[in-house]
Structure 1
Amino acid sequence: MDREKLSDKLADIIPEKTTTVRNNGCCKGCPKHSTKLHVYDWQHDFPEMQKLTNMVEVQFKNTRKGYYINSNNIELKKGDVVAVEASPGHDIGTVTLTGKLVEVQMRKNNYREDGNGGPKRVYRIVRPADMEKYELAKAKEQPTMITAREMAESLGLNMKIGDVEYQGDGSKAIFYYIADERVDFRQLIKDFAAKFRVKIEMKQIGARQEAGRIGGVGPCGRELCCSSWMSSFVSVSTSAARYQDISFNPQKLAGQCGKLKCCMNYEVDAYVEASRKLPSREIVLQTKDCDYFHFKTDILSGQITYSTDKNNPVNLETISKDRAFHIIELNKRGKKPLKLVSESEANEVKEETFQNDLLGDQSITRFDKKESGGSSRKRKPRKGRPDNRGRGGKPPKQNEQ
């Protein structure tokens, strides 16, 4: 069985919950399966760069990656499914990167060698026997997860088993769980080992990581950031919503993970920088007409709306930040402008309103059919109908008997 058939049959080794895109031969630097952890190999056209190191990058299920040494000098390329050294036994994964860029990724991810005598090795390209073991182990994952949840619930542990990953040879199982607080699962591990007869490893993940594994579509209409490209998660606070003047609606601020949306951090720096160039919201603008209190602010455009009432929107007026600073400077000198809105701004508002109005000065009733006035001409009687009207348009009186 050649490499391409093995790669196609073991395509499910790539995490199922991440975006998987088939490579249509756009370039040799793109792998056969592209995920959010994909690194573009811009050195693929330089064979000498591929031979500078024996280290390769191998990816497994649930975005788990590892770095292994090709000590047997096997000719490997992206997309090859290989058997690698594990503890215990061996594991099966897909080669995602080769050449000099592997060392760059190792430094970027702070890779540290195990204390067992150097990096682990790549054994071989998978054989049919390895495939059979892997398929048997993978078939156990779903029923194992259901059984593990029942066992954790029976012990009264406040945790959720999110996923189970079996090693390629079926000798080890990794249980991914979510917990809001510290959980003592020592007894649970003993029960797992007695039930499943494999080596047990527990890994805690966050709610955002679980949402990234499951995937979905956000309110913006695009795939979730955590499942498409985001690999590191930064804490999001409600101050990000306050800086951007977003209403504190829990249903709109929370994502599918139940936490605050990660996209709230994307533009918060721009809003903070723009808000520093605006006047304080506590300053009251004084004019000869009345005093104006801050009502709302469009931070990016620099437009500020003021109200004559401190708590209610009354006589709203919108001015630019430059006009607001000018009035504040006049108030400091003891002067008060005649109006809040300057004449130039008022003219600009009128011009914008006229340009945005499609009808302009045209009347909306210009296409209505006008009613004709009263006519002195008498209406002619219809043909076939006698005119029974007398003089003055009244019907003639009948003789009473």
Structure 2
Amino acid sequence: MRTTVAIVGAGPAGLLLARLLDAEGIESVVLESRDRAHVERRQRAGILEQGTADALRAAGAGARMDREGLRHTGIELRFDRRRHRVDLSALTGGRSVYVHAQTEVCKDLIALRLRTGGPLLFGARALAVEDADTDRPRVRYRHGGRDEVLECSYVAGCDGYWGVSRAAVPPALTRTYERSWPYAWLGILADVPPSHHELVYARHDRGFALLSMRPAGGGTGGAPVSRLYLQVPPGTDAASWGDADIWDELERRVETDGGRRLARGAITAKAVTPMRSYVHEPMRHGRLFLAGDAAHIVPPTGAKGLNLAVGDVVTLARALVAHRDTGDPAGIDAYSADCLRRVWQAEHFSYTMTDLLHRHPDASPFDDRLRRARLDRITGCRAAATDFAEGYTGIPFPRDA
């Protein structure tokens, strides 16, 4: 089989890229190792930046997000038993974020792909990306018990950190940067309406907590349910936390003077997420382009992972269209540098927010006071709040800057 762009991975990055290329008349084939049901139910990010929301609308995949997603114009920071609202929209000229789960984004993009008839092969496990530094790269994969070869002009590696795409970049040409964080998140989904109408990020001497939400029923437009997180040590077993203990600890960490108690309900899901930061340079090798987690990972505090992946594929689609239409390879040649500028800004924001809000196990009293001073600055100075709001609502895509 042959196509113009071989897309390895049917997460939101690969599926959106296929949609963008299809709209421009560029052929692609999407290879996904898991089955459709797995892709449509795996829980990941739930916060979409303004740029991501705009990109989904432009791709014809934003209708359900606008109908069922939750638009947020602000967030709340809690520390020292005080509440502080950051008005994102007022500080950024009207920008906002949307609470809309990655699973729902994937469902919509899959439905669009199948409707247009573009090849989307589930259960197709990529085995290797070969000849990426030539004008005829190819992807070897296994599908239906048979080994196959997909010949192409370009390969988009959207298959995550453990996929074959990242491994196809020669180690001698690669530089990696990473950090492992000394804490993790215990996340729960609870069948109870959120205790606050906006996201709440809480810093407490016992550790970080986050009050978030999801539209009920996987995006059916019902009342939101609660999505909540606690800072825990790495390697924590989620089963070691009883439901009552989780609610009690959340209550302690988000409590404010004169505040209401948390609404409690049945916990329907429970899991621990490790935290790390990672960047792979370059993001391009010949005709292989890395996108999303194949090239970078951020801790979830800043809600940047999915949004960075969208920025990558929007940039790549623009470059491929420009090269087809004008013959100018400038966008293709600049892909890695253009994306990495945005990636490092997002890494910095995520690093700062993670370090600021979590209780570091080795922090001295001096360190803690510095973090509180920074929170006071963000909540008490418009310039600092604006910088925070601009980072939270999203760094513009390269050609939007």
TM-score interval, normalised by the smaller of the two chains: under 0.3
* Structure showing the higher helix proportion among its residues: 2
Q: TM-score, normalised by structure 2?
A: 0.23
Q: TM-score, normalised by structure 1?
A: 0.23
Larger relative contact order (CA 8 Å, sep ≥ 6): 2
